[in-house]
A and B are shown apart, each in its own frame.
Chain A
Amino acid sequence: MAVTKILVPVDGSTHSLKAFRMALDIAKNNDAKINVLTCLEKDDVGAWYIDKRTNKKIMNDAKKFAKEFLSKLEKPAKDANVPISLNILETKSTSNQIITFSNSKKIDLIVIGSHGRGGFNKFLLGSVSNKVSQIAKCPVMIVK
């Protein structure tokens, strides 16, 4: 198993940042490339009844915010000499988007945090990491 492409789904939570740090270590050892993926959920935006344009504005703001956040990850990757590509996608289902992304880009390893932003229960897995670990076709590393 030669790992050349690593996917790290990042949502800004501490678990996902931990996963990113671990992915950097693995990429350093294997000379691999890192793909960072952030998914923005369309359904979340609840302002459609006010004005349709508000929705677009919210999405644009979210995109800007995500871009700003992801650009912070570029520096540690550069320090470690790891090539990195940032992806921001709009989607209806985060977990499905992660899986289709990993299939289409032929990812060798997914490094994912055990919980995202919505996790309450510290003993079990978050819903997104659970679904990804079950359905993805490549090895999945779950970071706690």
Chain B
Amino acid sequence: MIFNNILVAYDSSSFSNRAFKSALDVAEANKSKITIASVLTGVYQPSIGFTMKYSEEILKKYTKTLQKTFSSLESVAKKKNIKISLKLLQDPSVSKAIVNYVNSHKFDLVVIGSHGRTGLNKMILGSVANSVIQKVKCPVMVVK
């Protein structure tokens, strides 16, 4: 089995940066395409109410910063001649968004960092990594 489509769950934490690096290594060996998925969760705002909706301002701000970090990743991938694309998902639940996106598209491998931005405990897995591993239908690589 060859990995043609690789998805990297990315949140700009150090763990996800390491996941991206090892995804690059896998992609180089298999000549595969990398998709970077980031999830924008809603932010609680009193002006909107309790429904965690997206205000356009914040959404713009987030996409801008994400595209900035993506362009730096893109330049790294271009040096190695690897095709790369960015996918922004919107969902209040990060793990649900990733799982749904992966299961509804044809990915051969998901690469994910063991912890995200909010991981404290270094012994066990982060919550997003854990639920993605359990629910996704394709092979998953957990990078520590």
Which residues of A pack against B, CB within 8 Å? 1-3, 21-22, 25, 29-30, 123-125, 130, 133-144
Contact = CB atoms under 8 A, between A and B. Distances in A.
18 contacts: A2-B25, A21-B1, A22-B1, A25-B1, A124-B134, A133-B142, A135-B123, A135-B124, A137-B144, A139-B142, A140-B142, A141-B139, A141-B141, A141-B142, A142-B140, A142-B142, A143-B139, A144-B137
B139 A133 contact: no
Contacts of B25: 1-3
Contacts of B48: none
Given A29-B29, A139-B22, A139-B144, A22 B139 contact: yes
Given A29-B29, A125-B133, A139-B143, 6 more contacts: A30-B29, A123-B134, A125-B134, A134-B123, A139-B22, A142-B139
A138 B141 CA distance: 11
Contacts of A133: 125, 133, 142
A123 B135 contact: yes
A25 B139 contact: no
Interface string B117-135: 0000001110000100111
A25 B134 contact: no
Interface in B88-144: 123-125, 130, 133-144
Interface in B7-33: 21-22, 25, 29-30
The 7 A-B residue pairs with the shortest CB-CB distance in the complex, in nearest-first order: A29-B29, A141-B141, A1-B22, A134-B124, A140-B142, A142-B140, A143-B139
Nearest to A22: B1
Interface of B: 1-2, 21-22, 25, 29-30, 123-125, 130, 133-144
A25 B2 CA distance: 8
Nearest to B135: A123
B126 to A, nearest CB: 10
A36 to B, nearest CB: 18
A93 to B, nearest CB: 17
Contacts of A143: 139
A138 B144 contact: yes
Given A1-B21, A29-B30, A134-B124, A139 B134 contact: no
Contacts of B137: 144
A80 B12 CA distance: 38
Contacts of B130: 134
Nearest to B22: A1
Contacts of A2: 25
Contacts of A135: 123-124
Contacts of B134: 123-125, 130
